[in-house]
Amino acid sequence: MTSLRNLCSKDSPIFFKNGTLKLGGEREPVPRPKKWPIANIVAPGANNIPDAFIVGGPYEEEEGELNHPEDKEFRNQSECIKKRIIWDLESRRYLDPTAVVSFQKRIADCRLWPVEITRVPLITAPKGKAARFDKAEDENQLSFHGVAYVNMVPLLYPGVKRIRGAFRVYPYLDSVVYEKTKCLISLFRDTGHHLIQNNRIGGINSSLSKTVASKNLKEDKIQASSIKSQGSDTPLEMEPSLNHNPEGQQYVDAGTYIVLEIQLNKALVPKRMPEELARRVKEMIPPRPPLTRRTGGAQKAVSGYHMQIKNISRAILDEYYRMFGKQVARLGSDMDSQTLEEQKCQLNYELNCSGKYFAFKEQLKHAVVKIVREKYLKTTPFESQEELQTFISELYVFLVDQMHVALNQTMPDDVQDAASTIHTSSDQLRFFAFEAEVNENFDMAAVYYEERLVRDSQNLEHWLDYGAFCLLTEDNIKAQKCFRKALSLNQNHIHSLLLCGVMAVLMENYEQAEIFFEDATCLEPTNVVAWTLLGLYYEIQNNDIRMEMAFHEAFKQLHALVLQTQITKEKSTGAVEYAEEGGKVESSVGPCRITSGSTTAIKVEAPAEPGAPLSVLDGFVEDSSKLQSDCQEPVLPVQSQDLASSQKPSNLFVKETPVKREVSKYQDSSTFLHPTPYGVSQTPTTIFMETIRFLMKVNAIQYVHRVLAHELLCPQGGPSCEYYLVLAQTHLLKKDFAKAEEYLQQAAQMDYLNPDVWGVKGHLYFLSGNHAEAKACYERTISFVVDASDMHFIFLRLGHIYLEEKQYEKAKRIYLQACKRSPSCLTWLGLGIACYRLEEITEAEDALSEANALNNCNAEVWAYLALVSLKAARQLEAEQAYKYTMKLKLKDEALLAEIHTLQETVGFGNPSF
């Protein structure tokens, strides 16, 4: 027999009796009908509840204790092979609004509610005699008195209407029950003389259960109930030891558990609908559709002129073909100049005689008039003939230039010989911006980010990157504007919503933060970071129940991600045998179910003899304590690809690859964009570390420390190598070198072979000026088989150290590797400097030309180009390079002195001589 209490103004106990003992060897069919908890119904099938069935469900989706992967085999055996007890009953209760308020308060006061289970002999009272039983006799008839602790807090989560799970059965001990549930009274022991008597005569509800609860305008229903703490709040004077309930101890020894399901018709805490959240977001940030580009004015006039030039050129070319044929035209430069001049005269004569020349002129007249009016804004007569002639000369030059532009566009590809230019892509600009950002050249980084916005202001990624840069420079207001602009371009973009929420928290606008985070979880319920950030927000608001709900959901989604990745890995290796026979197995322990009628229902089933004990669920942390214990396959973020594995480097030093590879040159550059000090092992150990990785990418350092505190206290987390690396990274950003070194030492003790530890150590020593130690760390880092996460900057700084120490061969080799992996202005500059110092002037010039093509505003590049030109005795190039060196204000005085010395030696290069 099992019992629960239904909470309203009075306790209304719910009892399930007459459990059926099932032999092992067969599984309960699913679905199967639920039954009313009414005794002595003889009509076949009359006990079955219409349209109510037990369907079971996956163990992983339950809220109980035995819902981990390691429990699956045990539950399959318990519910199929071993003996068990089945109730398959459902009881319903009705709660009025007052009872609903009381119900919520009782759950908030005590999260664990006891469900008692006992064995009571069935005795029939003699006919014609009044059956009299005293309390002592009743208590002697109680045996195997146990209790299961059900965590009812999920019913206070927004939108939750159902909890279902398997709960361990423990011996009923007053001290333990009081400690966990604050309950002093046992239904069976303290009120059992009434209840057992009712059971003898076939009843199920005691006199205490005459009160029928109701809920919210007679529509809500609750499926199970719990135990009300009665009597005084003082602790018990006597604490019975385990020996006082030896029969109940057998539940623990056998690993007995009971499956309960509790369901409400309406959630106790309503959840915001996705439509409402979307509406609130639109109110805060109205969507801004992209503006349609309309060419008008001067641009449209010039385009019209180009179109007329193209049409006329085609008509003249067709006339040429008609007169001389295409074969003659193909000879091209093979024809002598006299023949060409004769053909030109014949063509002019034919155009003038046929009137086509005047037709072409009239065709151009309207386009020229539009240019005069729209571009030069000339709509009034000229005041003098001199002004007219000046304007006509200027107009003629412009029209001829634009004619050449149009003709070059229509010229056949095999005839064109235009100079090749290097066009930087958006990904390249992003990479160059981040390179400048790491080197603390924030002005140059801002230029690159703003150039991306100018090129395409409708790309939300450009706004997000610029906002992350503003966070790094602690310009929170501008960062918030950038993130909101990105969200206005796409209000369903998860990262934009999360970043707007983070900024709202940092700006202490908590109401908007909640809307952003909730909308993100609605749009993408499987997003671990969204649930974690929502939980952190609730922590700030001191809302422990909702915080627990959000963290629990984040753990659940991360667990599902790990399992999915593991299954995918096994399938790809052909080592998986997919036999999901227990995936939707209904626990024959029986779900405690409350269905969707007009009342509340409870269904309880319990096995008799299963094994494998598990601790009781005390909260969300314990509920997910083994979330990552069986994770074998790391889940790598999207950012883990090499930046330049598919790049096309210059043909000066490496073999040229097909041009198609240039397209993807910087598409996977996110390894270097906001690099994290944990590139070697990206296993998602906890929800907090996943969130830390996200926040580090967007430079939300102010938020990272709060998450690090949770990571430290999390049972699955705690101090780890990655944890200390993140701490060291945050202190490096603050220039707190002492703290950073302390954390790096602890990280090295935990994982001495982690290349990221040595890489960050090298950055620490480099930034603090200890280049000897930095070189040792960098050399150790590049000697590892696995690369660190920020190899680009390791190569740059190690090459810089080699140049300082005049180890030019090593510097050349290091910079060459950097150019192969991720070419930039600085990598080519370093390579050019190394080659110049090795007297390899041609190679140095080629490398410096590549650097100048990527960034023509680098004074040091122009300085070395000036030196190369002076060495090569090219006066014009030397003077031009020196002019730009001085214009860009070269800060290296030693290098400038070297240029002046060489200029004096060769006798040219400085126009001021």
Tens-digit pLDDT profile for residues 336-388 = 778 888 888 888 888 888 888 888 888 888 888 888 888 888 878 888 888 88
Q: Are 125 and 201 in contact (CB under 8 A)?
A: yes
Helices (H) and strands (E) in the chain, counts: 36, 13
Per-residue pLDDT reduced to its tens digit, 442-471: 999 999 999 999 888 888 999 999 999 999
* HSE of 846, CA atoms in CB hemisphere, 13 A: 13
Q: What is the DSSP letter of 909?
A: S
Q: How confident is the model at residue 501 (pLDDT cuts 50, 70, 90)?
A: very high
Q: What is the pLDDT of residue 659?
A: 30
Q: What is the pLDDT of residue 593?
A: 32
Q: Are 82 and 609 in contact (CB under 8 A)?
A: yes
Angle (CA) 801-802-803 rounded to 5° is 90
Distance, CA of 361 to CA of 304 (rounded, Å):
15
Which one-letter amino acid corresponds to residue 426?
S
Q: What is the pLDDT of residue 216?
A: 32
What backbone torsions phi and psi does residue 488 show, to the nearest 5 degrees? -70, -25
Q: How confident is the model at residue 226 (pLDDT cuts 50, 70, 90)?
A: very low
- Token pair listed for 120: 């009571």
Long-range contact pairs involving 738-745 (C-beta distance under 8 Å, separation at least 24): 740/764
Q: What is the pLDDT of residue 631?
A: 33
Range with top average pLDDT, 112-116, 533-537, 588-592: 533-537
Whether the pLDDT of residue 912 is over 50: the answer is yes
3-state secondary structure of 809: helix
What is the residue-wise DSSP string for 320-348? HHHHH-HHHHHHGGGS-HHHHHHHHHHHH
Whether the pLDDT of residue 860 is over 60: the answer is yes
Q: What is the pLDDT of residue 839?
A: 92
Question: Which is higher by pLDDT, 523 or 118?
Answer: 523
Distance, CA of 267 to CA of 602 (rounded, Å):
17
Distance, CA of 592 to CA of 691 (rounded, Å):
36
For residue 32, list its beta bridge partners: 54
3-state secondary structure of 20: strand
Per-residue pLDDT reduced to its tens digit, 683-714: 447 899 999 999 999 999 888 988 998 888 88
Q: Are 763 and 438 in contact (CB under 8 A)?
A: no
- Token pair listed for 606: 């319990």
Q: Are 498 and 468 in contact (CB under 8 A)?
A: no
Q: How confident is the model at residue 583 (pLDDT cuts 50, 70, 90)?
A: very low
- Token pair listed for 871: 């060495």
Burial class (CB in 10 A: 0-12, 13-18, 19+), 270: exposed
Whether the pLDDT of residue 424 is over 50: the answer is yes
State the residue for tokens 């008195």.
145
Q: Are 838 and 812 in contact (CB under 8 A)?
A: yes
Mean pLDDT to the nearest integer, 285-309: 74
Distance, CA of 737 to CA of 756 (rounded, Å):
17
Range with top average pLDDT, 178-187, 247-256, 791-800, 902-911: 791-800
Average model confidence (pLDDT) across the chain: 75
Q: Are 837 and 860 in contact (CB under 8 A)?
A: no
Whether the pLDDT of residue 144 is over 90: the answer is no
Distance, CA of 64 to CA of 54 (rounded, Å):
17
Q: What is the pLDDT of residue 124?
A: 56
Distance, CA of 63 to CA of 309 (rounded, Å):
75
Mean pLDDT to the nearest integer, 849-858: 91
Q: Are 279 and 527 in contact (CB under 8 A)?
A: no
The dihedral formed by the CA atoms of 843, 844, 850 and 853, expressed in degrees to the nearest 10: -140
3-state secondary structure of 257: strand
Distance, CA of 740 to CA of 727 (rounded, Å):
7
Candidates 742, 710, 714; CA nearest to 624 is 714
Question: Which is higher by pLDDT, 290 or 399?
Answer: 399
Whether the pLDDT of residue 425 is over 80: the answer is yes
Helix axes 791-804, 825-837, angle to 10 degrees: 30
Q: What is the pLDDT of residue 249?
A: 81
Distance, CA of 754 to CA of 728 (rounded, Å):
14
Helix axes 460-472, 494-506, angle to 10 degrees: 30
- Token pair listed for 341: 């001049």
Whether the pLDDT of residue 502 is over 90: the answer is yes
Q: What is the pLDDT of residue 595?
A: 34
Q: What is the pLDDT of residue 656?
A: 34
What is the residue-wise DSSP string for 102-170? HHHHHHHH-SEEEEEEEE----PPPTTS-----HHHHHHH-EEEEEEEEE-GGGGSTT--EEEEEEEEE
Distance, CA of 348 to CA of 703 (rounded, Å):
76
Burial class (CB in 10 A: 0-12, 13-18, 19+), 60: middle
Q: What is the pLDDT of residue 275?
A: 80
Dihedral sign computed on CA atoms, order 623, 626, 631, 637: positive
Range with top average pLDDT, 123-127, 168-172, 183-187, 733-737: 733-737
Q: What percent of the chain has pLDDT over 70?
A: 73
Distance, CA of 786 to CA of 651 (rounded, Å):
28
Whether the pLDDT of residue 270 is over 80: the answer is yes
Q: How confident is the model at residue 241 (pLDDT cuts 50, 70, 90)?
A: very low
Q: What is the pLDDT of residue 741?
A: 92
Distance, CA of 148 to CA of 117 (rounded, Å):
8
Q: What percent of the chain has pLDDT over 90?
A: 27
Dihedral sign computed on CA atoms, order 181, 184, 186, 187: negative
Q: Are 286 and 487 in contact (CB under 8 A)?
A: no
Q: Are 820 and 427 in contact (CB under 8 A)?
A: no
Mean pLDDT to the nearest integer, 23-31: 75
Distance, CA of 818 to CA of 812 (rounded, Å):
10
Sequence-distant (≥ 6) Cβ neighbours of residue 263 within 8 angstroms:
161, 162, 163, 221, 222, 223, 593, 594, 595, 596, 601
Q: How confident is the model at residue 779 (pLDDT cuts 50, 70, 90)?
A: very high
Candidates 625, 590, 606; CA nearest to 254 is 606
In the chain, the N- to C-terminal Cα span, in Å, equals 108
Q: What is the pLDDT of residue 116?
A: 85
Q: Are 336 and 398 in contact (CB under 8 A)?
A: no
Candidates 37, 83, 75; CA nearest to 165 is 75
Mean pLDDT to the nearest integer, 496-517: 92
Mean pLDDT to the nearest integer, 42-64: 75
Candidates 362, 363, 364, 391; CA nearest to 379 is 391
State the residue for tokens 């005689």.
353
Range with top average pLDDT, 42-56, 476-490, 680-694: 476-490
Q: What is the pLDDT of residue 498?
A: 94
What backbone torsions phi and psi does residue 884 show, to the nearest 5 degrees? -75, -30
Q: How confident is the model at residue 34 (pLDDT cuts 50, 70, 90)?
A: confident
Distance, CA of 521 to CA of 536 (rounded, Å):
14
Per-residue pLDDT reduced to its tens digit, 597-635: 333 333 333 333 333 333 322 333 333 333 333 333 333
Q: Are 610 and 82 in contact (CB under 8 A)?
A: yes
3-state secondary structure of 652: coil
Q: Are 242 and 249 in contact (CB under 8 A)?
A: yes
Q: What is the pLDDT of residue 819?
A: 93
Distance, CA of 608 to CA of 165 (rounded, Å):
17
Least confident range from 400-409, 417-426, 566-575, 763-772: namely: 417-426
Least confident range from 287-301, 371-385, 750-764: namely: 287-301
Helix axes 528-540, 510-523, angle to 10 degrees: 160
How many other C-beta atoms lie within 10 A of the C-beta of residue 50?
7
Dihedral sign computed on CA atoms, order 450, 451, 457, 458: negative
Please state the separation of Cα 770 from the chain's center in Å: 37
Per-residue pLDDT reduced to its tens digit, 72-85: 788 877 778 788 88
